Amino acid sequence: MTAEADEKAQKTDDFCCASCSEKVHVEEEDKTPSCPNGHKEFETRRNGPGNKS
């Protein structure tokens, strides 16, 4: 699943930046922030349903 900064999160989750692999934590219904390095696209959900990491 991909996500963009400023999208509302459907679930509480950890996302991995598509550019630099920094992790951001997002609570359900909050907007996804930019990564600490300023990137705005996230590719990998770390703790989402069905993910074992």
Check if the beta carbon of residue 33 is closer than 8 Å to that of residue 27.
no
CA–CA separation, 10 vs 14, rounded Å?
A: 12
CA–CA separation, 11 vs 20, rounded Å?
A: 23
Check if the beta carbon of residue 45 is closer than 8 Å to that of residue 28.
no
Query: Using one digit for the tens of pLDDT, what is the confidence trace for 2-50?
Result: 788 999 988 888 889 999 999 999 999 999 999 999 999 998 666 655 4
CA–CA separation, 51 vs 10, rounded Å?
A: 16
Q: Is the overall model pTM greater than 0.85, yes or no?
A: no
CA–CA separation, 51 vs 7, rounded Å?
A: 21
Residue 53 has pLDDT above 50, yes or no: no
